[in-house]
Amino acid sequence: MDIRENIPLAPYTTLKIGGPARFFASATKESDIAELVRFAKKNRRRLLVIGEGTNILVADVGFSGLVIKMEIKGRRVSASASASASASASAADPETVLVEASAGEIWDELVDWSVSEGLYGLENLSAIPGTVGAAPIQNIGAYGADASNVITNVRAFDTSKMAFVDLSNEDCRFSYRDSIFKQKKGRYIVTSVIFALKKRGRVNIEYRDLKEYFKRLGKTDPVALTPKMVREAVIEIRWGKLPDWKKWGTAGSFFKNPIISAKRYESIKAKYPDAPGFPEPDGRVKISAAWLLDRICKAKGLMEGNVGMYENQALVLVTKPGATAAAVVDFTTKLIEQIEHETTVKLEAEVEWVN
Ligand code: EPU
């Protein structure tokens, strides 16, 4: 295999920041993964798997291990899906189509294809940059949907067992922007994901921005809407809130929305009566990091040198050429401290720190 040395990582990330990888290789087939893991173990090097690099902040000194660029491609529908027991159970349902996509596929190409087939399930997750393999890792979510709602199985290389394993949705331990792949960091390398999509269904336009969008068009009955219409709406909404990825360095939302106790939320409301909170199934409340940044730090459009927050969305960090990881850490640490000082809530990065 072609394992290259000292490869600058900045061009492989959408933040366009970061020093070199000590070792770097592309994986285009499953057997490459096993071979590269053996190489890393033999040389006592850590592993980092990247897709499109849309959610990582690489340190200026770079990464001293082996970076695997995931480029395994392919998509199979239903019959040929490497279905496990639970997946084949859903395949028996004539309304369900199982789609297995390889980790290196571009996420939005999968979504685009699924809506063009008239399938329900991925439309709310339109226009999210990145690869299919990254979707289960941080359980990508947007506009009222999470990838975990439609993932039935994940195939991965287990670096402890040195074998490929098939994980069910339950095995993946999904929650908000979290999964076993983050909890047991470094153990699994995702190689493909199986999604259960529906031939017939009902779109979900409960998320405020989507509801308002269709209300403006006078289309409030979800039954009359297709996945394609929802995809178009999501693309338009995202376009207004997220920066042009070609123009700015960015990784989308930089922080997670904090989930706090109802009691804690009440105490924040006492100080900031209009602080938005969204109830979680377990009784806790998800509060808006964007709102905190906007209200407390006046973060929209706030720039410090080559680093700042996007003018239309306070949660989205942007960088200009010349930005360093150190400058991002400096800038975001100040925001975290300011919010913690005002509310006692400590924002956590959503973007993964690589060093
Ligand atoms: N808000 C403000 N000021 C702002 C932006 C938002 O006050 O500048 C408030 C508004 O009250 C709004 C609320 O925050 O109703 C939520 O804002 P938005 O709908 O834009 O969602 P978000 O919480 O900022 C999350 C995801 C995004 C996803 C959107 C849409 C996280 C960390 N981020 O953002 O995901 O696209 O919802 O569903 O959960 C990403 O992860 O990279 C990402 C872009």
Which CATH number goes with the domain that contains 30?
3.30.43.10
Low-confidence ranges of the chain (pLDDT < 70): 79-92
The long-range contacts involving 141-149, CB below 8 angstroms and separated by at least 24 positions, are 141/176, 141/177, 142/234, 142/238, 143/207, 143/209, 143/210, 143/234, 143/237, 144/204, 144/205, 144/206, 144/207, 144/210, 145/204, 146/174, 146/176, 148/172, 148/174, 148/179, 149/121
Q: Which of 211, 241, 315 to mutate to test the pocket of ligand 1 (most atoms within 8 A of CB)?
A: 315
- Same domain? For 141 and 193 the reply is yes
238 lies in some domain: no
pLDDT at 285: 98
Q: 145: CA distance to ligand 1 center in Å?
A: 13
Q: Which amino acid is at 97?
A: V
Ligand 1 within 6 A of 354 CB?
no
**What are the residue numbers of the active site?**
177, 253, 350
Q: How many residues does the chain have?
A: 355
pTM score, whole prediction? 0.94
Q: Which of 241, 288, 316 to mutate to test the pocket of ligand 1 (most atoms within 8 A of CB)?
A: 288
Do the beta carbons of residue 218 and residue 241 sit within 8 Å?
no
pLDDT at 85: 43
User: By residue range, what is the domain housing residue 162?
Assistant: 75-198
Q: Is 249 left (phi over 0), alpha (psi -120 to 50) or beta?
A: beta
- The dihedral sign for the CA sequence 297, 298, 304, 308: positive
pLDDT at 92: 66
Q: Encoding tokens for residue 204? A: 């979900």
Q: Which atom of ligand 1 is nearest to the CA of 255?
A: 32
- Same domain? For 350 and 253 the reply is yes
pLDDT at 83: 44
Domain count, the chain: 3
* Segment (H or E) for 57: strand 56-58
pLDDT at 81: 39
- Same domain? For 103 and 56 the reply is no
pLDDT at 78: 78
The C-alpha atoms of residue 232 and residue 58 are separated, in whole angstroms, by 33
The C-alpha atoms of residue 212 and residue 151 are separated, in whole angstroms, by 28
Do the beta carbons of residue 209 and residue 290 sit within 8 Å?
no
225 lies in some domain: no
Instruction: Count the neighbouring beta carbons within 10 Å of the beta carbon of residue 54.
Output: 20
